[in-house]
Amino acid sequence: MPWMRRLLNTLWRRTLDREIEDELQFHLELRATDLQRAGMSAHEARRQARRMLGNELSLRDRTREAEIWVRLETALQDLRYAARILWRAPLFTIAATLTLAIGIGVNTAMFAVVYGVLIRPLPYADADRLYLLFQTSGRAGRTRLTPLDFIDLQAQVHSMRIAAVAGNGFTFTGQGDPELAVGHLVSGEFFNLLGAKPALGRTFGTADEATGNSDLIVLSHRFWQRRFGGDPDIVGRRITANNRSLTVVGVMKPDFSYQGTRYQFWVPLPLRGPNPDKVPINRSARYMQVLAKLNAGVSRDAAAAELQSAAASLAQAYPDSDRNMSFILSSLTEETVGSIRDALKLLSAAVLLVLLIACSNVASLLLARFAKRRTEVVVRAALGASRARLLRQFVIETLVLYSMGTVAGILLAMSLLDLLRTMGPDAIPRVTDVALAMPVLAFTCVTSLFAALVFGLVPALPATRGFSGSGMSRTATADRTHQRVRATIVVAQIAVALCLLAGASLVARSLVNLQHVNKGFDPEGRLTFNVVMPATRFPDAPAMHAFYTQLVDTIAARPEFTSVGTTTAFPLSGQDLENGFAVDGYAAAAPDQEPVAALRGVSPGYTTAMGIPIRAGRALTSADDQRGAPVALVNETFVRRFFGGRNPIGGRISVGGPDGPWRTVVGVVADVRHRALATESRPEVLLPWVQMDADFLTAWGRGISFVVRSHLELTAAAGLLRSQMRDLDANTPIIDLQPVSALVDQSAAGPRFRTFLLSSFALTSVCLAAVGIFGVLSYVVSERTREIGIRMALGARQSTIFRDVFAVGGSLVAIGSVLGLAGGVALTQWIRGLLFQVSPSDPATLAAATVGLMVVAMLAALIPARRATRVNPVMALRS
Amino acid sequence: MSKGSPSLPYGTLDLLVLRTLAGGAQHGYGILLQIHEASGNLLRIEEGSLYPALHRLETSGLLKAEWMTSENNRRAKYYGLTARGRRQLAEEERNWERVAEGVSRVLRFT
């Protein structure tokens, strides 16, 4: 392979040099011998032989060149030279490398996130054909499906296969402490659709569904490791959960998870067989998440069309529950990562700007350095170096710097990713998929190389221009070009930094707004925890009621706790359930205006304990029990939407349909931000838990969220609660015990996370821009030392000198700020979707960002300006 | 440069070297002499072009080189034809004949 040989010869030139030397020596000897034979003296023969060889040096070079890569060799020469030059200026080299490392590091980390979260397909077979299926009745928004609708739909559709999934908590007993863990109840097709293979044993499927055996469980790898110590003989063992005996049929692989690692096991959903957990199988409870996999070759439109006709036939068959119903397909990928896409795009744009500033800083530094090497350039040009050769030399120096910056940047990215993973789980979906994979590193290298070439040429072009004819003397024109380029760079940096700072300020402002949004409840001084009452221990509603009333009373009896309440769906916890209603006196003007509202069962003390204001009427009392008249509370949105201008108090509503039973609205509560802090409230109905339908309670009333208000310090209050619960019932774990404020914080994790990142990026860019100004002005001062010295000798005041230098910086900052402000106003329109209660062109925020940047920039200009005033005229004139 | 030798047309050197080596492996000096003799002392190859050409042909795989002991008991680098070199020789010979014939026809005609 010739290229291989050339490469080796280029890298190990000594062997080749020696061979050529030997070969030529041999030639000379033979020639000399022949000449001697022809009659020459030995001495003369040798001389003649050499003469006939011609220019030996050039011959050797040309011979060698036949065997090497000339380009590579000159590149290696340049490289050695560049390394020497950089080695001799360690301060500059370190500063430039660090600057680049920051720019490249944040880009690498950010791209690792983008790649892991957005680009890489979900870790399931044919992930592009996986969808989630929702049902909708227009304005009510999309909801999950009811079990019976799911069963009917499964029989009707042929363009896709579907599986039902419902999250559920199981209390595991029998080995170690009782533990409540969350898992999924899934129908037969589930594992098949995801193409998921177990690590041990098997999964369960449609065959098991057919036999009606639902006492099976598949464990996640982590759960198996944690609770069962990684027991290799676990398959076939029977374990106890919810007082049921379940057979472990398999363990999934470590990397398998569905909707997050908090779901730790999978149990068959008893759609047809016996139903020990009393999972509701009806046509009113919309709790089935439906996973759909389109058959190969079926388009989304074709699938949607089939779903529409299925919806129509269901609506015809079950007009009470399914009229106006239609189905929506939403890609699983979109459902998983869609929420973060905009934020990641914004952050990617931000890091790109940071890189831009970092690179231009280095370009600016290089420009100054190259300018100082003018003499070297002229000498080399005089000795015959072409401009291309000189350019290449400078670009290679830049490349060496960038290579070092890239290596340092990748190291930085590694620690940034570690940080990200610890902050991440609440803020980014799929954060466990984020890693420095090969494509990420390739992206980094390509980006750096591209940046090195572009930003290497910026300083190299002026450095190698205009030397012909001017000899060794420095030309004023060339210096002016340098200054202009550097000034442009600084202006651009200021502008870009201001754009970033403006964006970050707006996002930060949104976060503050979000944290101060009227949540509809008061999180301070309150604890929340969950209790689950498994069907196997509490078979019916009275048993559950007795247990939980006992809990409430025990807590209420302690003077440390001022109030206590319970609900079936705690705000910001992710629990929610929507139901259809009938409202007396309200007729839907259009099918999409049917009354649908979130339904919660609460205890009488709930609104007080939670701090939810009563806007009209009264709160629930203990008289609102089984014997009392059926009552309900509704929220303000419900009143606005379904009561029009009428007085809601005394109005009647009915859960389910017009056939009653009718309930009287006795109070209106404030709107609570239930789903997310930034999400407007939806219509809500609060019923007394004890008055709810027994079937509903055995299905939905089993998980109860408590809220306890205490004047104790919260950790002390939590300890007290724990010990009380243990005394009361050692077999019922209390879970998710935390301050309500923690839940609020968690709900703002995403916005806080991107605010944190964006602000760090913006601050980094501001610092880099400040360094840029500092560098340029320092250079100006050092270039004009003589001039300043003369002026001072002629009597110029220090303040005049200071003002002159400072003005240079000031004008750059001013121009940059104006451009940046204009750019910022244009760019921030794009992030409208990420803002909360602040306009993208909010004058106060933009003004604050501008002033902040200008202050920092002016501080950076101060130091060189002061240095200018300290120029010693005598020294300056002598030098 | 010897004044008596005509200059070689571009590319002819490769042909001459390949042709010479078709008779067996040879070192650089030997090739030089053989071409000189075979051309009836008409053609004289310069060292300055021969050695770069040899190394170029070797790198591109037409020649293979081996260090062997020469007749005067010195280590010398001997060049020989590879299979590819042989094919290349055949092709260049055909080319040359056609070019030579064409050129001489033109010369005679005008």
C-alpha closest to that of B85 among B3, B7, B15, B10:
B15
Model confidence at A873: pLDDT above 60: yes
Q: What is the pLDDT of residues A805-848, one digit of tens each?
A: 888 888 889 999 999 999 888 888 888 888 888 888 888 999 99
Q: Which residues in chain A have their CB less than 8 angstroms from residue B28's CB?
A: 23, 26-27
Task: Please tell me which of the candidates B60, B72, B77 has its beta carbon nearest to residue A23.
Answer: B77
Q: What is the CA radius of gyration of chain B?
A: 15
Query: Would you call B29 an interface residue with chain A, using a CB distance cutoff of 8 Å?
Result: yes
Q: What is the CA radius of gyration of chain A?
A: 38
Model confidence at A270: pLDDT above 90: no
Q: Which residue of A56, A59, A69 to mutate against B (max B Cβ within 10 Å)? A: A59
Q: Would you state the pLDDT for residue A13?
A: 75
Model confidence at A245: pLDDT above 70: yes
Q: pLDDT category, A472, cuts 50, 70, 90?
A: very low
Model confidence at A474: pLDDT above 70: no
- CA gap A553, A564 in Å, rounded: 9
CB distance B19 to B93 below 8 Å: yes
- Mean pLDDT taken over chain A: 85
Q: Which residues in chain A have their CB less than 8 angstroms from residue B52's CB?
A: 59, 62-63, 65-66
Q: Which residue of A63, A68, A69 to mutate against B (max B Cβ within 10 Å)? A: A63
- CA gap A863, A876 in Å, rounded: 19
Hey, which bits of A596-651 come out as E strands?
Answer: 596-602, 614-617, 631-635
Q: How many Cβ contacts (< 8 angstroms) between chains A and B?
A: 63
Q: Which residues in chain A have their CB less than 8 angstroms from residue B46's CB?
A: 54
Q: Which residues in chain B have their CB less than 8 angstroms from residue A22's CB?
A: 75, 77
Query: Would you call B5 an interface residue with chain A, using a CB distance cutoff of 8 Å?
Result: no
Task: Please tell me which of the candidates B60, B72, B75 has its beta carbon nearest to residue A22.
Answer: B75
Model confidence at A319: pLDDT above 90: no
> A667: which strand partners?
A617, A633
Q: What is the pLDDT of residues B52-102, one digit of tens each?
A: 888 888 888 889 988 888 777 888 889 999 999 999 999 988 988 888 888
Q: Which residues in chain A have their CB less than 8 angstroms from residue B75's CB?
A: 22, 26
Interface contact flag, A33 B72, Cβ < 8 Å = yes
Contacts 24+ apart (CB under 8 A), B5-11: B5/B42, B5/B43, B5/B44, B6/B42, B6/B43, B8/B43, B8/B45
Interface contact flag, B29 A67, Cβ < 8 Å = no
Between A574 and A790, the higher pLDDT residue = A790
Residues A391-406: what's their mean pLDDT?
A: 89
Angstroms from B48 CA to nearest CA on chain A: 6
* DSSP-assigned letters across all residues of A67-130: TS-HHHHHHHHHHHHHHHHHHT-HHHHHHHHHHHHHHHHHHHHHHHHHIIIIISPPSSTTGGGE
Share of chain A above pLDDT 70, in %: 95
Q: Which residues in chain A have their CB less than 8 angstroms from residue B55's CB?
A: 20, 63-64, 66-67
> A669: which strand partners?
A614, A635
Closest-CA residue of B relative to A3 is: B59
| Phi/psi of residue A563, nearest 5 degrees | -155, 160
- The structural domains of chain B, with segments of one domain joined by +, span 12-109
Task: Please tell me which of the candidates B47, B59, B75 has its beta carbon nearest to residue A53.
Answer: B47
Q: pLDDT category, A162, cuts 50, 70, 90?
A: very high
Q: Which of A284-298, A474-488, B6-20, B80-94 has the lowest mean pLDDT?
A: A474-488
Interface contact flag, A63 B52, Cβ < 8 Å = yes
Q: pLDDT category, A426, cuts 50, 70, 90?
A: low
> A182: which strand partners?
A169, A263
Which residues in chain B (30-49) have CB-CB distances under 8 A to chain A? Answer: 46-48
Between A879 and A823, the higher pLDDT residue = A823
- CA gap A479, A462 in Å, rounded: 9
What tokens were used for A176?
Answer: 């170690």
Query: Would you call A7 an interface residue with chain B, using a CB distance cutoff of 8 Å?
Result: no
Model confidence at A212: pLDDT above 60: yes
If phi over 0 gives left and psi between -120 and 50 gives alpha, with beta otherwise, what is residue A174? Answer: left
Model confidence at B22: pLDDT above 50: yes
Q: Would you state the pLDDT for residue B1?
A: 40
Interface contact flag, B51 A2, Cβ < 8 Å = no
Between A556 and A323, the higher pLDDT residue = A556
What ipTM was reported for this prediction? 0.85
Q: Would you state the pLDDT for residue A383?
A: 80
Residues A565-573: what's their mean pLDDT?
A: 90
Distances (CA, A) of A178 to A383, A721, A726, B14: 85, 18, 12, 89
Model confidence at A641: pLDDT above 50: yes
Task: Please tell me which of the candidates B47, B59, B74 has its beta carbon nearest to residue A52.
Answer: B47
Q: Which of A355-364, A386-395, A588-597, A748-757 has the lowest mean pLDDT?
A: A588-597
Owner of token pair 């807590």: A555
Angstroms from B56 CA to nearest CA on chain A: 5
Which residues in chain B (46-75) have CB-CB distances under 8 A to chain A? Answer: 46-48, 51-53, 55-56, 58-61, 70, 72, 74-75
Q: pLDDT category, A656, cuts 50, 70, 90?
A: low
Angstroms from B83 CA to nearest CA on chain A: 15
Task: Please tell me which of the candidates A2, A23, A62 has its beta carbon nearest to residue B28.
Answer: A23
Model confidence at A149: pLDDT above 70: yes
| Phi/psi of residue A274, nearest 5 degrees | -65, 155
Q: Does residue A661 have a cis peptide bond before it, meaning omega lies within 30 degrees of 0? A: yes
Query: Would you call A17 an interface residue with chain B, using a CB distance cutoff of 8 Å?
Result: no
Q: Which residues in chain B have their CB less than 8 angstroms from residue A2's CB?
A: 59-61
Model confidence at A469: pLDDT above 50: no
CB distance A801 to A792 below 8 Å: yes
Topology annotation, domain B12-109: Arc Repressor Mutant, subunit A (1.10.10)
Burial of A148 (0-12, 13-18, 19+ CB in 10 A): buried
Q: Would you state the pLDDT for residue A879?
A: 62
CB distance A180 to A170 below 8 Å: yes
Q: Which residues in chain A have their CB less than 8 angstroms from residue B61's CB?
A: 2
- The structural domains of chain A, with segments of one domain joined by +, span 2-68, 72-125+339-474, 138-324, 488-518+741-879, 538-730
C-alpha closest to that of A836 among A510, A590, A527:
A510
Model confidence at A657: pLDDT above 70: no
- CA gap B102, A185 in Å, rounded: 90
Owner of token pair 């409430």: A552
* DSSP-assigned letters across all residues of A694-762: HHHHHHHSSEEEEEEEESS-HHHHHHHHHHHHHHH-TTS-EEEEEEHHHHHHHHTHHHHHHHHHHHHHH
Between A47 and A421, the higher pLDDT residue = A47
Closest-CA residue of B relative to A66 is: B56
- CA gap A794, A269 in Å, rounded: 94
Q: Which residue of A3, A5, A30, A33 to mutate against B (max B Cβ within 10 Å)? A: A30
Interface contact flag, A26 B59, Cβ < 8 Å = no
- CA gap A701, A547 in Å, rounded: 12
Angstroms from B39 CA to nearest CA on chain A: 19
Q: Which of A76-80, A444-448, A851-855 has the lowest mean pLDDT?
A: A76-80
Q: What is the pLDDT of residues A686-745, one digit of tens each?
A: 999 888 888 777 766 778 899 999 988 888 888 888 888 878 876 777 777 888 988 888
Interface contact flag, A62 B53, Cβ < 8 Å = no
- CA gap A294, A300 in Å, rounded: 8
Q: Which residues in chain A have their CB less than 8 angstroms from residue B56's CB?
A: 66-67
Angstroms from B77 CA to nearest CA on chain A: 6
- CA gap B52, A67 in Å, rounded: 9
Query: Would you call A52 an interface residue with chain B, using a CB distance cutoff of 8 Å?
Result: yes
Chain-centroid distance, C-alpha A781: 44
Distances (CA, A) of A826 to A497, A499, A503, A819, A823: 14, 9, 11, 11, 5
Q: Would you state the pLDDT for residue A273?
A: 75
Model confidence at B2: pLDDT above 50: no
Model confidence at A404: pLDDT above 90: yes
Q: Which residue of A4, A27, A29, A56 to mutate against B (max B Cβ within 10 Å)? A: A27
Torsion of CA A117, A353, A410, A392, to 10 degrees: 130
> A565: which strand partners?
A707
Q: pLDDT category, A311, cuts 50, 70, 90?
A: very high
SS3 B83: helix
What tokens were used for A217?
Answer: 């469980």
Kindly give, in sequence order, each residue whose CB lies less than 8 Å from that of residue A269, ignoring residues fewer than 6 positions away.
A164, A165, A166, A185, A186, A187, A214, A279
Angstroms from A53 CA to nearest CA on chain B: 6
Task: Please tell me which of the candidates B47, B55, B74 has its beta carbon nearest to residue A66.
Answer: B55
Angstroms from A32 CA to nearest CA on chain B: 11
What tokens were used for A864?
Answer: 């060189």
Model confidence at B3: pLDDT above 50: no
Q: What is the pLDDT of residues A579-597, one digit of tens each?
A: 778 888 887 776 667 788 8
Q: Which residues in chain B have their CB less than 8 angstroms from residue A17's CB?
A: none
